[in-house]
Structure 1
Amino acid sequence: MEQSAAGGSSTVIPSLYPSQAKLAADSYHTGRVIEDPKWSLATVSHLTELCLQHIIDNFENNPILNHLLPEHQRKVLDRLPTGLPLAVTANLIHNEDYWKRCCTERWQVCDISNYGNRWKQMFLERHLESILKSFIPNTTDPNQVLDLIPLCKDYVRKLEVDQFLPPVKVDQKEEMNDLSHTGSDSGLDEVSVHHYDLGALIIALPHLEELHLTYGVKDCGMNFEWNLFRFTYQDCSNLAVALKMCHNLKVFKLTRSKVDDEKTELLVHNLLDHPCLVELNLSHNLIRDKGAQALGKLINRSKLEILDLCNNQIHHLGAQALAQALAKNFTLTSLNLRLNCVEDEGGEVIGRALLTNTTLKSIHLGSNNLSGATAMLFSKVLAQNTALTSINFSCNHLGPDGGKQLLEGMADNKALLEFDLRLAEVDQEAEYIQQMVWANQEAARLRSLQQPPAKLL
């Protein structure tokens, strides 16, 4: 026992061994620990999750996706960033959900129905298209395109490129300014404005089936120059050679590119006897009679089913060449000659060809300066031809007499399902003709209902 120094009441302090004193001190300090009430063992990440996150963070340098279990692969793909280089992802990742994220994060409108209902195909096609649209010859590195070939060649089925940029040169700009001061456009031919050569790319895409091209510049605004919209003969030559080697191509569209007769003949020469081409669209160009004559040869030498020559400069001689091909052809089903100038001389020869042709289903002769003479001949076509299902004579001058002739031809016609006579000056006859067309449509609908369903293979 010990007495207090103040001489007061005494306090009994038991004597302790050193080990007991330490234990007491530890107990004292432990009691002062403040615990977090929100803490839980569940907040601690599993080692598996930490490893997966490490794989995601280092995927560009070490893409070990194929070494993971399926459930771990799904977790990695759900969290991978969409900005990884295609050299890493294109040949490794086939998961459609990942490519869907890539598409929706990059573009506002994503309709995969135009891309075989495959997100990966859509991304690779549109990515390649964007590079081609922004490619500047002599400035952009060609490897930006060539390096993509081994990554996308198994997926690209269709390319739609509605812009090609010409090369940008300082001396070219000065030359253009000199030409503008002289007020002459003839010197434009001497300016090098050749575009990117698609040859190496097209030939290296074995599954390419559709190619839609427009040689021009979109949204140029105040920077407008005529040379921005030139499809040169060298451009055409390069393209024609590539088309000949693209054996699986089914649809080719070259629109709004100032394609004239000379370039048309060059294209046709390389498309003759093409094994797969079924649709050709050269609308909104500068094709005249010689170009149409070349296309007449193509109709007879190829498997074309659809030919669109809308808004060109084809007159009656070109129409005669096309008509001669139609009289012998057994594959073409649609011909569009809207916004040309075939006039009655061309319209009549086309009509005579349709008296013997048994495969053409659609003919568009709108805005061709046709009159009653063409209507009179097509009255015979309506009475005899059982293959045509669509005729368009809109924006012509057929007149009331022409309307009466067509009405007589429709009397026994049961095949025509579309007949456009808007702004053709045929007056009330158009209403009677339309009633007959509606009757044909209803009869066709009833026939389709009576047909037995197709057997599933």
Structure 2
Amino acid sequence: MRIPHSINPSTLVEYSPSPESLDLVGEDQRKIISENFDWNKDHCPTLIHFCLKAIAKNFEKKPIFDELPCEDKDQLLEIIPTDLPLEQAIPFIHDEYYWKRRYEAHFKTITRRKPKSWTWKNLYLERHLQKLVEEAQPQYSDEENMGDILDLCSPYVSRLIVTQLQLWQPPLNMDKEDYPEIFPVDHINFLYILRKLCTVTEFDLVFGMNDVSEKFDWNMFKVTVLDCQRLGKALLELKNLEILRIHRSRLGNEHCQALMQNLIKNKSLLELDLSNCEIGDQGALCVAKFLAGHPSLKILNLANNRIGKIGAEGLGFTLLLPSCAQIHTLVLKLNPLGKDGAMGIMRGIVRCSIPLELSMAGCDLEGDTPVKIGQMIRINDTLEKLDLSNNWFGADGGTYVVEALNENYTLQWLDMRETDITSNQQQTIKSYLFRNRRLKAQEDKSTSRSCMNEESFVTDIIYRKSEQKPYILSAFDE
């Protein structure tokens, strides 16, 4: 007996009899055993079964699906090949079970977080495009020949994640005498790809290669200015782009400048992640210029980018500009900011209401920086999360932070791990943070109550008007 895939496997487990019930009196005399689903395993399959097998076998030549009854469609989805050409599978098959089978057959488990509104069809086509882009050979200009498959997949792809890009290799039909003395380092041109994917809202890119083994070469991880110029122009084709990550790449300040020349025209970005690159101070100034005129950016991640005093001062100055994006999160961890760089950031923070979350973990904060941080915590009244872990504070620095937190009622999270403060200071900091969270919860609760009262007041006005009363009764009157 065939169990349709639409039935949850847990249901079969629940309906299976327990060992104790099978030992009851009279069980061995039952003629009809309803829980036995293998009762017809020795029977000859039906003609419908053979017809469906023939349809599945010849589906590529003659696709028949919509004409079948629902129960036959369910059975066909269980046996149809998972290697059908996408030109047939995408328009004909929309059932999630088939795309789940296809995903598990080609990519096994899901290795990335799933977006909010996801389907198996979307997941499969996103991974398929990722594989195509990652295997595209720049010497053959493979990206220029992807137009047809990109048009097919575009409506179902909202996220493109690229974890590697192939390096230029001599074409197979090129003689060794014609090999260039220095191989080109440029990668594929994303303009041909992104102009077709108009629905993409998240783009994640890493310049490099995976699993190179003994073929390792530093050229595999190089990035050219031409790559960034092309990428910047290509990103302008994504009108709905909200999340951009270009990370774990050898992206220097000249690359950042080339990228920002075009990216500065973007108006839809919500998150920019350039973490674990090498943009340095000059690259940080380019990002500050981008930040100064962007209308919607909320998250900026510049972790581990060799940003020092000049870059931090540029970012801090930008936060004060009226045209600066109202960012929510600023991540500067693992940058050698030092005292001067931290001061450049904090000068801006104490004079404006952004950001709400700041990370300066592992930023080489030495000298009297803890004193300045304490002053910043005492003055600032908007910061909610602050990460200062892996910086040297000591007992004296911890004292300044504790005294400042006593006067701060907005900071709710403070990471002071690996700062060498005392355990008593850690407990005191936790108590102040719990106090601030309780105050925040009470404030949110009172705000929600006031909103409900306003709604009831408006409702009462509408109700009284409907009765044509000459007065308005407040919701607070008896």
TM-score > 0.5 by shorter chain: yes
1:439 aligns with 2:431: no
SS, match of residue 152 in structure 1: helix
- What is the alpha-carbon distance in structure 2 between the residues aligned to residue 253 and residue 111 of structure 1? 17
Partner of 1:257: 249
Partner of 1:320: 313
- What is the alpha-carbon distance in structure 2 between the residues aligned to residue 232 and residue 90 of structure 1? 37
Partner of 1:409: 404
Partner of 1:147: 148
Q: CA 1:132–1:431 in 2, change beyond 3 Å: closer, same or farther?
A: same
Q: How does 1:21-170 map to 2 (within 5 A)?
A: 43=44, 45-46=46-47, 48-110=48-110, 114-115=114-115, 116-139=117-140, 141-142=142-143, 145-169=146-170
Give the fraction of aligned pairs with identical amino acids, expressed as a percent. Answer: 28
Q: CA 1:177–1:284 in 2, change beyond 3 Å: closer, same or farther?
A: farther
- What is the alpha-carbon distance in structure 1 between the residues aligned to residue 98 and residue 327 of structure 2? 42
- What is the alpha-carbon distance in structure 2 between the residues aligned to residue 248 and residue 217 of structure 1? 28
- What is the alpha-carbon distance in structure 2 between the residues aligned to residue 285 and residue 305 of structure 1? 20
1:358 aligns with 2:349: no
- What is the alpha-carbon distance in structure 2 between the residues aligned to residue 84 and residue 430 of structure 1? 60
1:163-214 CA-to-partner distances (Å, cap 9, x unmatched) read: 1111112899999999xxxxxxxxxxx5402111111111111110011110
Contact 1:250 1:279 in 2 (8 A): yes
Q: CA 1:434–1:224 in 2, change beyond 3 Å: closer, same or farther?
A: same
1:274-328 CA-to-partner distances (Å, cap 9, x unmatched) read: 1210111111111111111111111111121111111111110110100011123
Q: CA deviation at 1:371?
A: 2.6
Contact 1:167 1:194 in 2 (8 A): yes
TM-score (normalised: structure 2)? 0.78
* Aligned AA (2:351): T
Contact 1:338 1:368 in 2 (8 A): yes
* Aligned AA (1:152): C
TM-score (normalised: structure 1)? 0.81
Aligned residue pairs total: 406
Contact 2:300 2:331 in 1 (8 A): yes
Q: CA deviation at 1:45?
A: 2.5
* Aligned AA (2:169): V
SS, match of residue 138 in structure 1: helix
1:69-110 CA-to-partner distances (Å, cap 9, x unmatched) read: 334333322321111111110122111111111112223323
* Aligned AA (1:95): D
* Aligned AA (1:306): I
- What is the alpha-carbon distance in structure 2 between the residues aligned to residue 40 and residue 212 of structure 1? 50
Contact 1:371 1:399 in 2 (8 A): no
Match of 2:288 among 296, 303, 310: 296
Partner of 1:337: 332
Q: CA 1:176–1:42 in 2, change beyond 3 Å: closer, same or farther?
A: closer
* Aligned AA (1:217): M
- What is the alpha-carbon distance in structure 2 between the residues aligned to residue 426 and residue 54 of structure 1? 73
> Which protein is bigger by CA-based radius of gyration?
1
- What is the alpha-carbon distance in structure 1 between the residues aligned to residue 111 and residue 215 of structure 2? 33
Partner of 2:300: 307
Match of 1:285 among 269, 277, 283: 277
Partner of 1:198: 190
* Aligned AA (1:274): N
Q: Please say which of residues 73-82 and 446-455 is displaced more in the overlay.
A: 446-455
1:214-265 CA-to-partner distances (Å, cap 9, x unmatched) read: 0101121221111011111111111111012211111111112111111111
- What is the alpha-carbon distance in structure 2 between the residues aligned to residue 227 and residue 416 of structure 1? 46
* Aligned AA (1:398): F
SS, match of residue 265 in structure 1: helix
Partner of 1:213: 205
Any unmatched runs of 5+ in structure 2?
Answer: 1-39, 453-478
Q: CA deviation at 1:443?
A: 4.4
Q: CA deviation at 1:267?
A: 1.4
Any unmatched runs of 5+ in structure 1?
Answer: 1-38, 179-189
SS, match of residue 212 in structure 1: strand
1:347-384 CA-to-partner distances (Å, cap 9, x unmatched) read: 11211211122131111111221135332233233223
1:33-85 CA-to-partner distances (Å, cap 9, x unmatched) read: xxxxxx99973623x44433322221101113223333433332232111111
Q: CA 1:44–1:126 in 2, change beyond 3 Å: closer, same or farther?
A: closer
The two structures, once aligned, show a CA RMSD in angstroms of: 3.0
